């Protein structure tokens, strides 16, 4: 599951690599371009993710270049809402990949307290298709909803 998929190019790569991948995007122009690349995006608001997608099923949720003041009116409340929605979509043990900008006060402790475990660096490479050096990789703890 990819959050804020723009024109679906990242999803195109994942699909071509054999992943069953889908994404959500709010801008109809971006969705149309994704369609031109053979990627069908769900039109919707990522902050209401649970209304569009099943809960507790996704192995990986990616939130790349999304937590950014240029994308939405960033506040701690909004970030926690988004992370909570992503956690809800994930299967227990699933991964949440997010790259808050370096200069942003990301509420890491509060996000971890939602029921995520921070992964060790070696796990950054287990997905094969991603260059993840600057990403925060969190794992939904077992037993979490």
Ligand X SMILES: C[S@@+](CC[C@H](N)C(=O)[O-])C[C@H]1O[C@@H](n2cnc3c(N)ncnc32)[C@H](O)[C@@H]1O
Distance CA 142, CA 32 (A): 37
Residue from 1, 11, 24, 86 touching ligand X (CB under 6 A): that is 24
Distance CA 83, CA 98 (A): 9
Residue from 28, 32, 45, 123 touching ligand X (CB under 6 A): that is 45
Distance CA 95, CA 116 (A): 9
> Closest CB to ligand X among 86 and 138?
86
76 binds ligand X (CB under 6 A): no
6 binds ligand X (CB under 6 A): yes
Residue from 12, 15, 30, 107 touching ligand X (CB under 6 A): that is 30
The number of helix segments (H) and strand segments (E) in the chain equals 4, 7
Q: 59 to each of 52, 88, 138, 145, how far by Cα in Å?
A: 17, 12, 12, 14
Residue from 46, 67, 89, 138 touching ligand X (CB under 6 A): that is 46
CB 75 → ligand X: shortest distance, Å? 14
Q: 60 to each of 30, 74, 92, 103, 135, how far by Cα in Å?
A: 22, 23, 10, 25, 13
Find the part of the chain contacting ligand X (CB under 6 A) among 61-69, 73-81, 103-111, 114-122: 61-69
Residues that bind ligand X (CB under 6 A): 4-6, 24-27, 30, 45-47, 64-66, 71-72
């Amino acid at each position: 599951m990819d959050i804020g998929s723009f024109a679906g190019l990242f999803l195109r790569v994942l699909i071509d690599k054999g992943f069953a991948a889908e994404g959500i995007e709010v801008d109809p122009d971006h969705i149309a371009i994704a369609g031109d690349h053979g990627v069908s995006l769900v039109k919707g608001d990522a902050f209401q993710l649970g209304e569009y997608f099943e809960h507790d099923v996704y192995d990986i949720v990616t939130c790349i270049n999304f937590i950014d003041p240029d994308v939405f009116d960033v506040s701690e409340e909004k970030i926690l809402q988004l992370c909570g929605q992503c956690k809800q979509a994930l299967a227990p043990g699933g991964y949440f990949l997010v790259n808050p900008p370096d200069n942003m006060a990301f509420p890491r402790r509060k996000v971890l307290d939602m029921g995520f475990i921070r992964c060790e660096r070696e796990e950054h490479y287990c997905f094969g298709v991603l260059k993840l050096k600057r990403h925060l990789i969190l794992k939904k703890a077992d037993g979490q909803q």
